[in-house]
Structure 1
Amino acid sequence: MQDGIRLTCLSCGQANRFPFTKLKAGPKCAKCGVMLVGDDVAALNDLRHDKAVRADDLPLIVDYWAPWCGPCRTMAPEFAAAAKALRFLARFAKIDTEQFPAISQRLQIRGIPLLILYAQGKEIARLSGARPASDIEAFVRQHL
Structure 2
Amino acid sequence: MSENIHVVCPHCHSTNRVPTQRLNQEAKCGHCQDVLLIEKSVALDAASFERHVGRSQLPVVVDFWAPWCGPCRSMAPAFEEAADRLLGIAQLAKLDTEAHPQAAAPYHIRSIPTMVVFIEGKEVARVSGAMSAAQIEQWVQSVL
What is the TM-score of this pair, normalised by structure 2? 0.94
CA distance in 2, matches of 1:97, 1:124: 20
Q: Secondary structure at the match of 1:24?
A: coil
Aligned length: 143
CA deviation map 1:5-27 (0-9, x unaligned): 11111222211112111111111
User: Contact 1:11/1:44 (CA < 8 Å) preserved in 2?
Assistant: no
CA distance in 1, matches of 2:39, 2:142: 20
CA distance in 2, matches of 1:34, 1:68: 32
RMSD between superposed Cα atoms in Å: 1.2
User: Contact 2:49/2:103 (CA < 8 Å) preserved in 1?
Assistant: no
Aligned residue in 2 for 1:29: 29
Paired-residue identity, %: 41
Aligned residue in 1 for 2:7: 7
Cα offset for 1:132?
0.7
Aligned residue in 1 for 2:101: 101
CA deviation map 1:18-43 (0-9, x unaligned): 21111111112222233211111110
Q: Which consecutive unaligned segments of at least 5 residues does structure 1 have? A: none
Q: Displaced runs of 4+ in structure 1, greater than 3 A?
A: none
| 2:135 partner amino acid | D
Q: Secondary structure at the match of 2:23?
A: helix
Aligned residue in 2 for 1:131: 131
Q: Secondary structure at the match of 1:28?
A: coil
